[in-house]
Structure 1
């Protein structure tokens, strides 16, 4: 049975689980790791995790978790690096925290920063959060609108920019779903062949699709890479790293857009100048 967005926990409900998700691996983690831990902590079923946010390929859980991280950051509990790694600023006891108080404190702080004479003024942090969510959705939409061959060429370019060599797109019918092949180089010495598959659609890749891909890899390589604009079910993630089988690395839609951003492929980053008045300086004149 399909579920609606109303079955997804609200961002304030996910505040404490977000902190727990960072405490478990030692105080820091990537966006993807936080997502996986929160899903486990709240025992969210696949049908809830797969609910999209509007018409984008970003899930509703990912969207709301974005706001959870933002509120915790503004409250002074989290910080994030340019590479998307989040970390706790101090040792935190969950018993000392109350979600309602965090939300109230952040919103009150936001109101105090707004210039009352200018009703369209917003805080820089809020604008940045909205822009971050907006560009994710816009890029997801553009990826879905690409022709299959264009998406394959984009993946080819992505792999080349990531250090792969001899990347070729095959994408021919009857090839068991193999879209291309490349050679991954490690520190200029070690190398291994990788077969990759591209899935440009909105939805989740299942464990069965992982098995089909592995079957197509049989006898050709010991390493696979599956890239999708969507997501992977929990069973698919388990199947990709199942003991005794060739491993398959997985790149979902969220990781894909982040990687495109890092490499500057179709994404331009504009630095915004921030000017502040030093009231104390004038007081000393």
Structure 2
């Protein structure tokens, strides 16, 4: 029997329970994985992408983002500039909410505030509608399109090679031999100049989600040939793939999905440039105190 995609409001209390289980705070990825685990959301639902043509964000992840937004406006969540979300004092006292009340109150406040773009709402139903969708993160969407549509598989392998070199790996080679179990290259990770690990990596240009079977196949190809495995994709990983990658007793495989890849390229300024815009504000109170 196939699972039903949860609505964003039905994810509010699971989100709060996930943060409680995580000790009151967590990253977006930690919250996402904990919600999937606690709510038993399977791969057939968690692997569905919100907009495959533009990004690798899953539909569950998209709806959780809106659950976070509503709960923040309701006073139950706060987040830092480092992307860590935490329960507020109010959330720790109550631990759960009535989703209908949250939606009604938050939308009531939003309606009272001036809005530049107002669109029709459907009978005040509790549902995620286009008028709630924020401006897209253009650079991530453009990068996702470029990596999945415009560059070749060989170019993507060379990008992974450059990424590893810039991250401190040495002796990075792209092999890309067909029939080699999906192994695209190898390298050595140097740790503080004293320790080193032989790493085999696989690159997959993907719109969808990498499955647990893909991870098992990759591990089978790397056994006896490296200390660790690294799987890089423009897509996402199913929850079972994440569990398989860290399964006890099996050679560990580190996973890099499309979102992490984009952030790493941005950090290392590989094909991406960050422009800082200076904003000057006047403190009238300071001048008044002269």
Instruction: Give yes or no for TM over 0.5.
Output: yes
Work out whether residues 51 and 59 of structure 1, in 8 Å CA contact, stay in contact via their aligned partners in 2. yes
Identify which range, 190-199 or 267-276, moves more after superposition.
267-276
Please state how far the C-alpha of 1:269 moved relative to its aligned partner: 4.1
> Could you tell me which residue of structure 1 aligns to residue 146 of structure 2?
142
Tell me: CA distance 1:64–1:96, structure 2 relative to 1, closer, same or farther (3 Å): closer
Work out whether residues 57 and 141 of structure 1, in 8 Å CA contact, stay in contact via their aligned partners in 2. no
- Give the Cα separation in 1 of the matches to 2:266 and 2:222: 30
Identify which range, 98-107 or 35-44, moves more after superposition.
98-107
Work out whether residues 72 and 102 of structure 1, in 8 Å CA contact, stay in contact via their aligned partners in 2. yes
Tell me: CA distance 1:256–1:41, structure 2 relative to 1, closer, same or farther (3 Å): same
Report the secondary structure of 1:130's partner residue: coil
Work out whether residues 235 and 257 of structure 2, in 8 Å CA contact, stay in contact via their aligned partners in 1. yes
**For 1:238, which of 227, 243, 254 is the aligned residue?**
243
- Residue 247 (1) aligns with residue 246 (2): no
User: In the TM superposition, what are the counterparts of 1:40-51 in structure 2 within 5 Å?
Assistant: 40-51=37-48
Higher relative contact order (CA 8 A, sep 6+): 2
Please state how far the C-alpha of 1:236 moved relative to its aligned partner: 2.2
- Give the Cα separation in 2 of the matches to 1:272 and 1:165: 36
> Could you tell me which residue of structure 2 aligns to residue 153 of structure 1?
158
Report the secondary structure of 2:69's partner residue: helix
- Give the Cα separation in 2 of the matches to 1:279 and 1:108: 33
- Give the Cα separation in 2 of the matches to 1:196 and 1:94: 46
Please state how far the C-alpha of 1:144 moved relative to its aligned partner: 0.9
Report the secondary structure of 2:6's partner residue: coil
- Give the Cα separation in 2 of the matches to 1:73 and 1:268: 31
Normalized against structure 2, the TM-score is what?
A: 0.80
Tell me: CA distance 1:93–1:270, structure 2 relative to 1, closer, same or farther (3 Å): farther
- Give the Cα separation in 2 of the matches to 1:27 and 1:17: 13
- Give the Cα separation in 2 of the matches to 1:276 and 1:21: 39
- Residue 104 (1) aligns with residue 104 (2): yes
Report the secondary structure of 2:71's partner residue: helix
Normalized against structure 1, the TM-score is what?
A: 0.81
Work out whether residues 36 and 239 of structure 2, in 8 Å CA contact, stay in contact via their aligned partners in 1. no
- Give the Cα separation in 2 of the matches to 1:112 and 1:272: 31
Identify which range, 234-243 or 27-36, moves more after superposition.
234-243
Tell me: CA distance 1:272–1:113, structure 2 relative to 1, closer, same or farther (3 Å): farther
**For 2:50, which of 50, 53, 78 is the aligned residue?**
53
- Give the Cα separation in 2 of the matches to 1:196 and 1:172: 12
- Give the Cα separation in 2 of the matches to 1:81 and 1:158: 28
Please state how far the C-alpha of 1:200 moved relative to its aligned partner: 0.8
Please state how far the C-alpha of 1:235 moved relative to its aligned partner: 2.9
Please state how far the C-alpha of 1:264 moved relative to its aligned partner: 3.5
Identify which range, 204-213 or 81-90, moves more after superposition.
81-90
> Could you tell me which residue of structure 2 aligns to residue 31 of structure 1?
28
Please state how far the C-alpha of 1:195 moved relative to its aligned partner: 0.7
- Residue 175 (1) aligns with residue 172 (2): no
Report the secondary structure of 1:92's partner residue: helix
Aligned length: 273
Work out whether residues 42 and 239 of structure 2, in 8 Å CA contact, stay in contact via their aligned partners in 1. no
- Residue 67 (1) aligns with residue 71 (2): no
Q: What stretches of structure 1 of length at least 5 have no aligned partner? A: 122-128
- Give the Cα separation in 1 of the matches to 2:184 and 2:137: 30
Q: CA RMSD in A?
A: 3.2
